[in-house]
Amino acid sequence: MFKPKLDVFLANPIHTGALAATFLVLLLVRPPIMLSMLLVALLVYLSMFFGAQSALDENQRSLSSGNDDKPGAH
């Protein structure tokens, strides 16, 4: 199951704020169609950004925890 990693959101506060603001504007306000299309595009971009950051963070953890206890192993 998907568990959001809060450290990724806390490490990028400007992106997190933009994601929250975009989501709230689209949820609560009825913007014109062109603006709403731009906001949806921004929301998709920010979702992909946080997904890539989470995958990168997870990949680095798995690489660093692989053979740390065996210094000569390859």
Residues 5-50 pLDDT 10s: 788 888 889 999 999 999 999 999 999 999 999 999 999 999 999 9
Higher pLDDT, 58 or 51: 51
All residues at 6 or more sequence positions from 53 whose CB lies less than 8 Å from its CB, including other chains: 8, 11, 12
Q: Which of 51, 63, 65, 45 is nearest to 9 (CA)?
A: 51
Give whole-number Cα distances, 62 to 21, 35, 44, 67, 71, in Å.
33, 41, 27, 10, 16
